[in-house]
Amino acid sequence: MYGEYQQSSGSVSTDTPREVYSADKIDAYLSSICFTEAYRSSPLFGSPKLARVKENGLSFLQALMRFQLAKVPFENLELHYSPSREISLDADSLFEKFVESGSNRGGHCLQLNTFFAIVLRSLGFEVTTSAARVNTDCQAVATKPGYRGSSYNGWDHMILMVTLSSERYLVDVGMNAKGPMVPIPMIHDPQPIVSVAPRTVRLIQDFLPESTSRDPAHRYWQLEQRYSEQQAWTSVYAFAEVEFIPPDFHVMNWYINTHPTSWFTQQIMIGKMILTEDKKEIIGDLTLHKNVLQRRVRGRIELKVECRSEDERVLALSRHFDIHLNGRQRRGILNTVSEIP
């Protein structure tokens, strides 16, 4: 699994001894996300070094993100519908779960972005893994009585930085409908970028409210969002240009999956993005949060269903996400805080 990814007439070596998938595995992955032939005929398959060239790599990366987001859901079902509640970041385990199993399962940000980073490296992209601090404004706590206002968590989210022709881009396939959806150039630019209309995002550099240093080198990149021009910008998360390595993510994974204050251990969440028929644009999302299923397209709610029992929620997972839980998995949620009584 370490070494070079090879495809017909070209190869590219990884800069560091990080894991990569074989050409056969990459082909299986592309088939599993229904990656269309128009993109699979990209010249970077013949010469993976082209993946680092903006002219070739950017459009391919944009397409790969769309198909990944629409096929592999953001979800934490293993922390609820499972007797073991084990979340692995192992490359082979992730490939088996997302591709080989045919189970239509996904994972949380650490699993999704770890996997996507390996895929990108295997294709020749230059990828740096990092972490972000999620802002409470974009979390469920912001809607609760007594909310004390915007603040940042500790390092609890994984992001990727991809370099194309010496320009860096924020890439994130692990934030469901709150993510950027497209590669965002890492330049301080307050001009909005359409994510999923009417939602727009932008990337700025600024200090955190909690920061004591005013050294310009200590500013954070901040992904912000809004749903109309009349709304104020709110922060989704903040990150620095610091590389995080696998042991860092194992620590984050332990906290997210086990700490009693982690919302992942308290609430069920699964969501994936919706594409147009021609697969060229993300237009909405299908999300099940706790016991409410919602389909939203271009900012309008087309479907909203409340699951009143575990049987109804399991049925919603089957009908809308093609995820079928067995008896052992279903019993894993009994007598837990996330069970529908």
CA separation for the pair 257, 212 (Å, rounded): 30
What does each C-alpha distance from 77 to 102, 155, 224 come to in angstroms? 16, 22, 28
3-state secondary structure of 192: strand
Q: Is-catalytic flag, 109? A: yes
Token representation of residue 126: 């230059």
Cβ–Cβ < 8 Å for 161, 168? yes
Q: Is-catalytic flag, 34? A: no
- Of the candidates 197, 188, 186, 173, the one whose C-alpha atom is nearest the C-alpha of residue 106 is 173
H or E element that contains 115: helix 109-123
Cβ–Cβ < 8 Å for 328, 84? no
CA separation for the pair 128, 245 (Å, rounded): 9
- Of the candidates 217, 218, 213, 235, the one whose C-alpha atom is nearest the C-alpha of residue 226 is 235
Catalytic residue among 109, 138, 156, 285: 109
* 8, burial (CB in 10 Å: exposed 0-12, middle 13-18, buried 19+): exposed
Name residue 10's beta-bridge partners. 7
Catalytic residue among 108, 156, 157, 285: 157
Catalytic residue among 108, 172, 285, 307: 172
CA separation for the pair 8, 6 (Å, rounded): 7
CA separation for the pair 121, 52 (Å, rounded): 10
Q: Sign (positive/negative) of CA torsion 329, 118, 54, 38?
A: negative
Cβ–Cβ < 8 Å for 119, 21? yes
Q: Sign (positive/negative) of CA torsion 41, 43, 48, 50?
A: negative
Task: Give the active site residues.
Answer: 109, 157, 172
